[in-house]
Copies of this chain bind each other. A is one copy, B any other.
């Protein structure tokens, strides 16, 4: 079993806000991150997949295949977009890095053929990131 990671970047606007809450409660929960006019980030995404090396090719997934998947499932949807306004899911869920990582996992997991999705790691800034390993996984890491 070997693990392969591909790193990509996208630039997007978002704000933290729960439409079910009052402006005051949003302000209390999210502070400056909840500015209704929005702010933005250069998000960095690392996606890790795992599999057994195929002897003929020396890999278990062609890197070009993985890049293509990330382009179609993630970059085309999030890059140069306003996450709150342009992604259906985030009209009803808070656009935290945590929820975004789960959303990305959901888009990618079904696409894997020669390998399994292992981890979605999403950096909001260099100083903050989240990691998600799927829901049916025991807590091992």
Contact = CB atoms under 8 A, between A and B. Distances in A.
Given A2-B132, A102-B2, A80 B127 contact: no
A35 B125 contact: no
A136 B2 CA distance: 12
A96 interface: yes
A3 B140 contact: no
B2 A94 contact: no
Interface string A1-38: 11111111101111010101100000001111101011
Which of A3, A30, A93, A126 counts the most B-chain CB atoms under 10 A from its CB? A3
Interface of A: 1-9, 11-14, 16, 18, 20-21, 29-33, 35, 37-42, 48, 50, 53, 55-60, 62-64, 79-82, 85-86, 93-99, 101-102, 125-133, 135, 137, 139-141
Counted per complex, copies of this chain come to 6
A55 B19 CA distance: 12
Contacts of A9: 125-126
B58 A93 contact: yes
A13 B37 CA distance: 8
